[in-house]
Amino acid sequence: MSIKRFHGRVAIVTGSTSGIGKATAYALASEGATVVIAARRAKMGQAIVSDLVCQGCEASYCETDVSNMDSVVRLMDWVSRKYGRLDVLVNNAGIPGGSYSLTEYPDLMWDAVLTVNLKGAWQCMKFAIPIMLRSGRGAIVNVSSDVGFVGSTFGIAPYVASKHGLIGMTRAAALEYASRDIRVNAVCPGLSDTDMIAPAKQHHPEILNQYIASTIPMGRMGTPAEQAAAIVWLCSDDASFVTGHSLVVDGGILAK
């Protein structure tokens, strides 16, 4: 029987109780990783762990709020004590914020989006990288977005800013740690069928379908599993010479 790509490796996936994060956790576990579900929703996180364990995978849950540095420190200390190593970090946790014009955007919501989406990823890297350095290697993937490259007319300026920032931070970190065998990359999903677009599916399906038809060359949304496959590849040894890269998975939107 062949050895799975992540056999013996420990992976943290933040924001992994739904959507792309959940799909990534399952994909890494299926490839042999010990997966830590790091998220705020304890009941959902524990249910995922139970399901993974029933499937013969190794998994655990640690309640985590990436916007809170103390919470991130507790997560990393707990992982270090429990497993003695950390090989993979997927910074997936993020929030969309609301839709407002730039001049009307609420201050507190602006701060929340930047704190979770950008500062949260930095805080996780800040305390994960020292553990990886002790192991001699590591792989980090930050989940950005196709709007990390372009603007948007949907009134989501802080979300766009945070996703641009993630790409810049990914490149800076990749260069800083390249010589120490820690690879840092980003995946940039296009519109994907996750909880984030559930309100649009429920309340404005005609507008959503029109947008998909007119904007996405492949004529459909992406799936969480498709995004997870890209993330897992970047975390794996198959991408051993890839760092500082932002992989766009958007059905062709940015190719236009």
Question: What would the pLDDT profile of 69-101 be if each residue is shown by its tens digit?
Answer: 999 999 999 999 999 999 999 999 999 999 999
Q: What would the mean pLDDT of 230-239 be, rounded to a whole number?
A: 98
Catalytic residue, from 26, 61, 159, 177: name it.
159
Predicted confidence (pLDDT) per residue in 17-74, tens digit:
999 999 999 999 999 999 999 999 999 999 999 999 999 999 999 999 999 999 999 9
Confidence of residue 1 (pLDDT cuts 50, 70, 90): low
- CA proximity to 235, closest of 93, 18, 19, 33: 33
Q: What would the mean pLDDT of 152-159 be, rounded to a whole number?
A: 93
Domains observed in the chain: 10-193+223-248 (3.40.50.720)
Is the predicted pLDDT of residue 239 greater than 70, yes or no?
A: yes
Q: What would the mean pLDDT of 175-182 be, rounded to a whole number?
A: 98
In which order are the strands placed within the sheet that holds 138-143? 58-63, 34-39, 10-14, 88-91, 138-143, 182-189, 246-249
Q: SS3 for 248?
A: strand
Q: What is the pTM of this model?
A: 0.95
Is residue 160 within 8 A of residue 111, CB to CB? The reply is no
Annotation marks residue 159 as catalytic: yes
* Length reported for the chain: 256
Angle at 67 between CA 144 and CA 224, to 5 degrees: 35
Calculate the alpha carbon distances from 29 to 9, 79, 169, 213, 241 in Å: 10, 16, 27, 34, 23
Is the predicted pLDDT of residue 152 greater than 80, yes or no?
A: yes
DSSP conformation class of 4: P
Q: Which residues are within 8 A (CB) of 173 and not within 5 positions of it... i.e. 6 or more apart?
A: 125, 140, 184
Is the predicted pLDDT of residue 205 greater than 90, yes or no?
A: no
- The rounded distance, in Å, linking the Cα atoms of 255 and 250 is 9
Is the predicted pLDDT of residue 198 greater than 90, yes or no?
A: no
pLDDT of residue 202: 81
pLDDT of residue 231: 98
- CA proximity to 226, closest of 185, 189, 184: 189
pLDDT of residue 197: 78
- The rounded distance, in Å, linking the Cα atoms of 121 and 14 is 9
